[in-house]
Chains A and B, each alone.
Chain A
Amino acid sequence: MINLPATLKISLRALRVNKMRSALTMLGIIIGVSAVIAMLAVGTGASRQIEEQMSSMGSNLLIVVPGATTSGGVRMGAGTQSTLTLADAEAIKRECPAVEEVGPNLTGVAQVVYSNMNWSTGVVGTTPGMLIVRDWTLSSGKPFTEQDVKSATKVCLLGQVVVDNLFGDTDPVGKIIRIKNVPFTVLGVLGKKGQSATGQDQDDTVYIPVTTAQKKVFGTAFPGMIRSMMVKARGAEYLADAEKQINELLRQRHRIGPKQDADFTVRNLTQMMQAREESTKVMTLLLGAIASVSLLVGGIGIMNIMLVSVTERTREIGIRMAIGAKTWDIRLQFIIEALTLSLIGGLAGIIIGVTGSEILSALFGWPTIVSPLSILMSFSFSGLVGIFFGFYPAYKASLLNPIDALRYE
């Protein structure tokens, strides 16, 4: 019969007697566990940030930007040329079966004024389709309609940052603001989205009908010009089809021969973000794996000390055996010692790991998330390490011959 509380008492005493050694042995586990937790926290934080950016951007997105201008042999880079029109956007929505919605973009920076307040912000001329493309809902009021786009009505939707800066606590819906001195009626307020993948504040914006932007705010180089458009495919599996269909349609509409360079580019935003997310996940795993190695090394440290301890206490083991300790009494004594070392080390490691993650975020501004799963995992892993690396020394001790052990000097 094994007396667990008594065995526990014996083991704890042995650890207390050798305080310095116990502490140093634990250090390996402490470093291992805190490294695993901190590394996973950094990785998880990075993934979560990307996930948030992805969901705020909208899902299954393609972006169509104009091609590069060539000015005296110097190519100016993507987007410098203006080749896309509102008609292109409408045609894509009409003729590409893989496309669910299209949101055209004619943007510019403008001074926005309400009463005695003013604010410089990005003004986006677009269609109601953009809200669908970007999975953007309104926090109050109502969106503008296709009818508003057709008749170039002077109405607008405000981002939260603009509302905060112009209105404070006042309800902006129904109020009149001036954009480049043109009066606009506020129809609604856009829901909060936060930072984009590129670090821009997505809430610092004003949405107006694209036609109003073309005719009354920014003007255009040619009729119907837009800067770019965002396209939402019908689903993740349609992204490639949508890309192909848009390419074909625009080449046809812009009369570009098969061997000529296109005057536009279609980019798969979702795919780019997913690639980033994938690489972050791989990085998290990698960091975790490297940290686990130190946990393993900590475990070997425990085994090392336990082996020394078994040799050192051969006589004690002999006495215990002579007095009636059975095989498992001896084994449990040493396993519990190892387990206690690793679990106390694990607990200390968790505390240090969590505070370490906080310090990392505070110091470097990295978003860190300590998941309960990573705590649970590293704690149970350190327990396993204790049992695994404690077992061999315990096994060795239990096999000693009591007569030899009693004679051991």
Chain B
Amino acid sequence: MSLIQVNGISKVYRLGDIDLKALCTVSTKIEQGEFVAIMGPSGSGKSTFMNILGCLDKPTTGQYMLEGIDIGKLDRDELAGIRNKKIGFVFQGFNLLPRTSALENVELPMLYDGIPAKERSEKAAGALKNVGLEGRGGHHPNQLSGGQQQRVAIARALVNNAPIILADEPTGNLDTKTSAEIMELFVKLNTESHITIIIVTHEHDIAAYSKRIIRFLDGCIVSDEEKGIRGQGLENHD
């Protein structure tokens, strides 16, 4: 059983009288422990694909199986439960709660999982240590640098032991040096903890950290490349 299996999913948005096809029939599989980059220009359907993978949206047609669960058959709250336990989100804009300490931000997913307060703060502190932010738990997002904020977001994605991290342009707001640090962190999580990492990006040097690149254009997958080794197979497409 694959971790992620999508069979002929499509997404159609209705804008007034016009049907807007954001995703044409897409099928693919992602296994546990993969590091996948999803690339493509804006409007290519990669964000729509990400939203469906992240259980934030449901496909119009087709089937999405996550760990053998048919996501299309779940209701709103069940989807929330899946997001809580199976998926860690990392966003371009960090999306931390303002005026809330780093530790409490990391505790948030456990809050919705009904984990008792003591265990919450212990696990959150552990996750912060894991991303190299030990002792920064009391800082508020506005007291942290962009890279540090993104680390807090990654700690939040890790804390519920989700098998998948979905990162939507995670380095889009960061400088090159910090971007590299963040990507190294993803690589470490992928190799050491076997967490499946799926990154949406349009930067080649970011995609270079991945082991597999899926390219989108006009709502369709135009190429799907397993590189085996990090950093290879990019030149061909430039």
Contact = CB atoms under 8 A, between A and B. Distances in A.
| Chain B interface category by residue count | 20 to 34
Given A323-B84, A324-B81, A326-B112, A403 B156 contact: no
A253 interface: no
A3 B80 contact: no
A156 B112 CA distance: 83
Interface stretch (A70-78, A228-236, A257-265, A314-322): A314-322
Nearest to A325: B112
Interface in A1-16: 1, 3, 5-6, 10, 13
Interface centre among B54, B76, B83, B112 (most CB of A within 10 A): B112
B84 A403 contact: no
B88 to A, nearest CB: 9
B156 A323 contact: yes
Nearest to A399: B76
B24 to A, nearest CB: 20
A321 B84 CA distance: 9
A333 B225 CA distance: 45
A327 interface: yes
B83 A322 contact: yes
Interface in B147-195: 156, 160
Given A3-B114, A325-B80, A325-B112, A403 B51 contact: yes
B209 interface: no
Contacts of B232: none
Given A322-B95, A326-B81, A329-B112, 16 more contacts: A3-B111, A5-B117, A10-B111, A319-B96, A319-B97, A319-B108, A322-B83, A323-B83, A323-B109, A324-B80, A324-B83, A324-B85, A324-B112, A328-B77, A403-B51, A406-B91
B85 A327 contact: no
A221 interface: no
Contacts of B111: 3, 6, 10
Interface in B104-153: 108-109, 111-114, 117
Given A6-B111, A324-B109, A403-B56, A13 B100 contact: yes
Contacts of A10: 111
B123 to A, nearest CB: 14
Nearest to A328: B77
Interface of B: 51, 54, 56-57, 76-77, 80-81, 83-85, 89, 91, 95-100, 108-109, 111-114, 117, 156, 160
Nearest to A5: B117
Contacts of B54: 322
Contacts of B51: 403
A309 to B, nearest CB: 13
Interface in A289-323: 315-316, 318-323
A79 to B, nearest CB: 78
A322 B77 contact: no
A323 B112 contact: yes
15 contacts: A6-B112, A6-B114, A13-B100, A319-B96, A322-B83, A322-B89, A323-B89, A323-B108, A323-B112, A324-B83, A324-B109, A326-B81, A327-B77, A327-B80, A403-B51
Contacts of B99: 17
Contact of B113 (A5, A320, A324, A402): A324
B96 to A, nearest CB: 8
Interface in A318-350: 318-329
A1 B96 CA distance: 23
Contacts of B117: 5-6
Contacts of A1: 114
B85 to A, nearest CB: 7
A324 B84 contact: yes
A1 to B, nearest CB: 5
A322 B112 contact: no
Given A406-B91, A406-B95, A320 B108 contact: yes
B77 A315 contact: no
Nearest to A405: B56
Contacts of A13: 100
Given A3-B111, A403-B57, A321 B80 contact: yes
